[in-house]
Chains A and B, each alone.
Chain A
Amino acid sequence: MANGMTVAEKIFSSKCGRTIRAGDVVMAGIDAAMIHDITGPLAITQFWEMGGERVFDPERIILLFDHQIPADSIPAAKNHVMMRAFAEEQGIRNYDLREGVCHQVALEKGRVAPGDIVVGSDSHTCMYGAVGAFATGIGSTDMGFALKYGALYFRVPETIRVDAAGTFGRRVGPKDLILRMTGDIGADGATYRALEFGGSGFSSMNMAGRMTCANMAIEMGGKAGIVPPDTVTMEYLKGRGSFDPVDIAPDSDARYLEKRGYDLSNLSPQVAIPHNVDHVAPVEEVAGRKVDQVFIGSCTNGRFEDMQEAAEVLGNESFSEKLRVIIIPASRDEYLKTLRAGLIERFVEAGALVEAPCCGPCMGGAFGLLAPGEVSLSTSNRNFRGRQGSAEAEVYLCSPATAAASALYGEITDPREV
């Protein structure tokens, strides 16, 4: 019987200084904690309620605003004021609304390292698994506790191993892979479990793609989604901070709950259909569906590589005037890369609204809301009923290539046919 260890088990064993196996419950120290403008205020209130006076380590707290920026309401503005005061009082570096979407910023600022245990009061915190961290989303009360003690109870999860082989076909990419995987595993198929991604398909994938995949582990209920660190990871981290080398590669005889394999060469563009992320179909099955709004952005697909993918499909054409196109690079760095490559000019010329880095319409809390009966096609991560506005609206999820192709014609379009 396989008795080796998974990445998750190695990370917890390394932190605790003894062998920790799946199923163990440990109070583990955390390397970083992330709070933003939606869940941060309640986390801070709970920190105080718990008798907190000073946070465990101000340098390990990532604090910024991204969901409702610039403040779209007076209550949102008050939340920002409250968090600014907290950051100042505690000596926490506050990125405020300058940098962009929390998960993108946490990684590009080098705040997360391979082998780290990181918590964030946002469910997509699992994205930091792209650099080989064990990162998971928690609620505000758990975050209040984490801010106070720098530790939290974890039940170390069993792992589902997913290996990918082959190479993506033209205009097929990581988002199609993770959507297909979500369709196969199901919205609760990885609940209380970690996903571990590997194989040649992942080792040849760039960091942007790894982030897209790790980001959506939670859509299968996953506690974490981890790509074991390799040379691509180290190349990405270079210049972002100083990191101690860690050996967290999974053992060849690691004990997995389940193993799955994907051949990327056989994958086609995928779309998640309303109102569940695991309701996934090949793009052909929904092609022709009229769309009112296309959103290209979010922590899932708001990186420069995503912008390039969209721009490549767009070419020198214009977006259809039958719909609105909203494009939002995920961070200031990604925005600048997109700008310097001339893509922002191209998007604006083509008729898109290009907004400053933020979560945008993804959460349906700020702007870009849908009216009853409207249809959105979005590169973000959730298509729940009411997610982007009216509960009578519909949200489809797809890759940047499929979003751009569909934006050209005003209806869901197979990007391979453009």
Chain B
Amino acid sequence: MRVWKFGDDIDTDAIIPGRFLTIYDEKELATHAFEGTRDEFSKKAVAGDIIVAGRNFGCGSSREHAPLAIRGAGVQVIIAESFARIFYRNAINTGLLPITSEAAEEIRDGAVISVDTAKGYIESDGKRYPIDPVPAFLLEIIRAGGLVEYARAHPEIKTCSE
């Protein structure tokens, strides 16, 4: 469960460059994750690793290939100071958990950390950090197991005008 530490404004072109967007298989996308900007990631990341980043993680394109490439590498959790809006929602929809926490600033590359989403904290080097709450309507989607499962469980949707 090692930490891969990234800086601010990690954009979707860095996560998965445009030339790989005809790929939809997450394992194959993972072989190109961070290609050109952090080549060791796709070679060394293992299941359970965690990405920790600064502000505005996932800014740029709406490509869902970005969370898929990260998930394909075995990463299930990203902790950042803040996320770009589209990426945040794409991550939740594809089963990758985006966590906003002040811990992101202090946790170093290679650190070993544990995340307890039920109790709402991150532990690293013996220190505990709180996790910012997920907006209620998104929590509903996470609880359903993602947007696909949420949709399957709701054959009818009521809009605000009904």
Q: Interface residues, chain A, CB within 8 Å of chain B? A: 12, 15-18, 20, 25-29, 38-39, 41-42, 45-46, 49-51, 67-68, 73, 75-76, 78-79, 120-123, 125, 137-142, 144-145, 148-149, 151, 153, 155, 187-188, 191-192, 221, 223, 276, 363-365, 369, 382, 384-387, 390-392
Using a CB–CB cutoff of 8 Å, the interface residues on chain B facing chain A are: 9, 11, 13-14, 17-19, 21-24, 35-37, 55-56, 59-65, 82, 84-86, 89-90, 93-94, 135-137, 146-148, 151-152, 155, 157-161
Task: Verify B22–A73 contact, CB threshold 8 A.
Answer: yes
- Contact across chains for B18 and A385 when beta carbons are under 8 A apart: no
For residue A142, which residues in chain B have a CB less than 8 angstroms away from its CB?
89-90, 93, 147
Q: Tell me, in angstroms, the Cα distance from A149 to B152 when the chains sit together.
A: 12
Task: Indicate if the CB atoms of B148 and A50 lie closer than 8 Å.
Answer: yes
Asked whether, in the complex, the Cβ of B135 is within 8 Å of the Cβ of A141, the reply is no
Leading 6 A-B pairs by shortest Cβ distance:
A391-B36, A75-B22, A139-B90, A16-B160, A50-B151, A141-B93
| A51-B152, A145-B147 known; A365+B19 contact, CB < 8 A | yes
Point out which of B35, B148, B160 has the most chain A C-beta atoms below 10 A from its C-beta: B160
Known contacts A139-B93, A191-B85: A387-B18 contact under CB 8 Å: yes
Which residues of B lie under 8 Å from residue A17 when comparing CB positions? 160-161
Identify the closest chain A residue to B21 (Cβ): A38
22 pairs, CB–CB < 8 Å, chain A vs chain B: A16-B159, A16-B161, A18-B160, A27-B157, A39-B63, A41-B24, A49-B148, A121-B62, A137-B62, A138-B86, A139-B63, A140-B90, A187-B59, A188-B9, A188-B59, A363-B18, A363-B61, A365-B19, A382-B11, A384-B13, A385-B36, A387-B13
Q: Can you add 18 more A-B contacts, CB < 8 Å, to A27-B159, A144-B147?
A: A16-B161, A17-B161, A25-B136, A29-B161, A42-B24, A45-B24, A67-B21, A122-B61, A139-B63, A139-B64, A141-B146, A142-B89, A191-B84, A221-B59, A382-B11, A385-B14, A386-B14, A386-B36
With A148-B151, A221-B85, A384-B11 as contacts: A138 and B62 at CB distance below 8 Å:
yes
B13 and A385 contacting across the interface, CB-CB below 8 Å: yes
Question: Closest approach, in angstroms, between the C-beta of B139 and any C-beta of chain A?
Answer: 11
How many A-B pairs have beta carbons closer than 8 Å: the answer is 157
Min CB–CB distance B29 → chain A (angstroms): 11
Taking a contact as CB atoms under 8 Å apart, the answer to whether A50 and B86 are in contact is no
Instruction: Report which of B21, B82, B136, B161 forms a contact with A15, defined as CB distance below 8 A.
Output: B161
| B56→A141 contact, CB < 8 A | no
**Which residues of A lie under 8 Å from residue B21 when comparing CB positions?**
38, 67, 363, 365
Q: How far is the CA of A97 from the CA of B158 in the complex (A)?
A: 36
Contact B62 A122 (CB under 8 A): yes
Residues of A within 8 A of B86 (CB): 123, 137-139
Do B19 and A141 have beta carbons less than 8 Å apart? no
Q: How far is the CA of A16 from the CA of B158 in the complex (A)?
A: 11
A27/B160 in contact, CB under 8 A:
yes
A188 contacts B82, C-beta separation under 8 Å:
yes
